[in-house]
Amino acid sequence: MLMQTVQTTPIADQKPGTSGLRKKTAVFRASHFLENYVQSIFDGIEGVLGKTLVVGGDGRFFNDIAIQIILRMAAANGAAKCIVGQNGLLSTPAASHLVRLRQADGGGLILSASHNPGGPDADFGLKYNGPNGGPAPEAVTNKIYERTKVIDHYKTCAADDIDLAIVGMQTLGNMTVEIIDPVEDYAALMQKIVDFDKIRALFAGGFTMCFDAMHAVTGPYAHTILEGMLGAPKGTVINGIPSTDFGKGHPDPNPAWAKVLMNIMHSTDAPDFGAASDGDGDRNMILGRGVYVTPSDSLALLTAHANLAPGYQDGVAGVARSMPTSRAVDRVAERLGIGCFETPTGWKFFGNLLDAGKVTLCGEESAGTGSDHVREKDGLWAVLLWLNILAETQRSVAELMMDLWATHGRCYYARFDYEDVDSAKATEVIDGLRPKLPMLAGARIGGLQVQMADEFSYVDPVDRSRSDGQGIRLVFENGARAVFRLSGTGTQGATIRLYLEQLETDHSRLQEDPQKVLANVRDAALTLSDLEAIIGRTAPDVIT
Ligand code: G1P
Ligand code: ZN
């Protein structure tokens, strides 16, 4: 095999964001772009000599070609082995599990732009996960980024493509490539955590469900586990065959993008339970008949009932949520007498807490829920845990939610996204808010009294690393809260996110229209920030 050292020069703007490096597919396909980034990852983790890596992706356009490039580079850099999902497929949680199961000391390379659309004119991404199976911490992503700025060569080799379709061992130079069934190990893990017999009995008793895989990677997992192992009727899984452009859709499981499922669940013959997952299978959406469960509420519900599943029968050690996620889970944690941590946005901040055993469950408002079984959020796991709880309690989704709110109050919640905003204008919004914060405590904005206003900083309780500038928080005295932050995952312009929350404990007001309940805090946040005037918009692009 012919080893090659290719001279290259740094490419501007290879800074990984909230979840790895995400760019337009065309950018990734441009000369040296992927190679530079992959070599920077290898260099940033002190090389891959003799190491084992897990490689797989969500099946989007360029997934297979990128995998061949990565395999050749891994071999040229001296890796001992790459474990690759058949046809290049691995969901993000399954990849995380494999890294842990197979003790892959080189970690994992996950090819995905998550819920962003796929295709030659859409998005691509690459994320590095460390040997604990979780997204690389900032110390590592910073090293990778620093390397991208000075890189002058990368290593590859001339070799035939690996046949990604054939399960088994192949070799690429001195490196072993093991192609594995992407579903098998993951399904075995799920069997240990949730009670498959109980769920099988639930389906056998006529319980109905619709799972929308959104033409993305979860399709094969859902077919095998839900329709195969758990006996849900054929047709329970829709859009279950992964396609390179996700059926030209936007594989983001929220009410805005999963319209098909929303309509099914709000129709007269809606099934008992509905769920969807995103491009790479780490996000989830939960629905009951006529009911949408916000991700923040889902985390609270799973925390309240996790002990019903075998994997959590001894209870939950603690929980964590990202700062903008609603405080619903805080109220459950308080009742259970367990710790509750508030972290910056991005799954990587949960890693240390999970590794240290401080938290068992964690989640984000952006449709991410997970536990210590892997080091990523896990869409299908959340769905299975919900099924376990539904089977044990014999309650409907609507009844479970009403019980949760009656006991803890309801945190009405919404996120406003202003997309593709001019970056300078987006920065102006945040920069404009910052100097106002110290004066705000006690002030009234549009009838709401501010209790606390700050810019969120986080000191990791385990390694004491500090992350500043993680979003602006306005907490009001009546249980309302508004949070502003800039997205770290967009591929075009800037995205401003405004997160709104309002606690309601009055039992007669637990089933109101969220947008009405949130109108006061929305007006206060918009007045204070002048957001829409600065960016020249009159409404957000997406409300979830
Ligand atoms: C978004 C979500 C965040 C999530 C990330 C990766 O990041 O808000 O919760 O961890 O995607 O899935 P953002 O674009 O807000 O930086
Ligand atoms: Zn995702």
pLDDT digit of tens for each residue in the chain (544 aa)? 789 999 999 999 999 988 899 999 999 999 999 999 999 999 999 999 999 999 999 999 999 999 999 999 999 999 999 999 999 999 999 999 999 999 999 999 999 999 999 999 999 999 999 999 999 988 999 999 999 999 999 999 999 999 999 999 999 999 999 999 999 999 999 999 999 999 999 999 999 999 999 999 999 999 999 999 999 999 999 999 999 999 999 999 999 899 999 999 999 999 999 999 999 999 999 999 999 999 999 999 999 999 999 999 999 999 999 999 999 999 999 999 999 999 999 999 999 999 999 999 999 999 999 999 999 999 999 999 999 999 999 999 999 999 999 999 999 999 999 999 999 999 999 999 999 999 999 999 988 999 999 999 999 999 999 999 999 999 999 999 999 999 988 778 999 999 999 999 999 999 999 999 999 999 999 999 999 999 999 999 999 9
d(CA 418, CA 370): 27
Return the best residue to mutate from 345, 376, 456, 495 for the ligand 1 pocket (most ligand atoms within 8 A of CB). Answer: 345
Ligand lying nearest the CA atom of residue 110: 2
Q: Are strands 368-371 and 361-364 parallel, antiparallel or unpaired?
A: antiparallel
Three-point CA angle 51, 18, 182, nearest 5°: 45
402 and 473 in a common domain: no
Q: Are residues 199 and 340 in the same domain?
A: yes
Into how many domains does the chain fold?
A: 3
Q: Are residues 316 and 414 in the same domain?
A: no
What's the predicted TM-score (pTM) here? 0.96
Helices 92-101 and 379-393 cross at an angle (nearest 10°) of: 90
Structure token digits, residue 364: 């984000």
- Considering every ligand atom, which ligand is closest to the CA of 486? 1
Distance, in Å, from the CA atom of 523 to the CA atom of 282, rounded to the nearest integer, reads: 33
Candidate from 364, 416, 420 with most ligand 1 atoms within 8 A of CB, to mutate: 364
For residue 326, indicate whether it is catalytic: no
Which of 182, 203, 219 corresponds to the end of one domain? 182
Selected catalytic residue, list 40, 91, 112, 114: 114
Q: Residue 417 CA: which ligand is closest?
A: 1
Pocket of ligand 1 (CB under 6 A): 18-19, 114, 322, 345-347, 364, 366, 368, 487-489, 497
CATH code, domain with 488: 3.30.310.50
Q: Which residue range is the domain that position 132 belongs to?
A: 2-182
Residue 402 shares a structural domain with residue 418:
no
The DSSP 8-state label assigned to residue 97 in this structure reads H
Contacts of 399 (CB under 8 A, 6+ apart): none
Report which protein residue has its CA nearest ligand 1's atom 12. Answer: 19
Cβ atoms of residues 186 and 93 within 8 Å: yes
Task: Among 408, 437, 469, give the residue marking a domain's end.
Answer: 408
Give the position, in ligand 1's atom list, of the atom nearest the Cα of 115. Answer: 12
389 in the same domain as 345: yes
Q: Of 381, 408, 435, at which residue does a domain stop?
A: 408
Residue for token pair 């939610």: 401
Same domain, 318 and 258: yes
For atom 10 of ligand 1, the residue with the nearest CA is 346
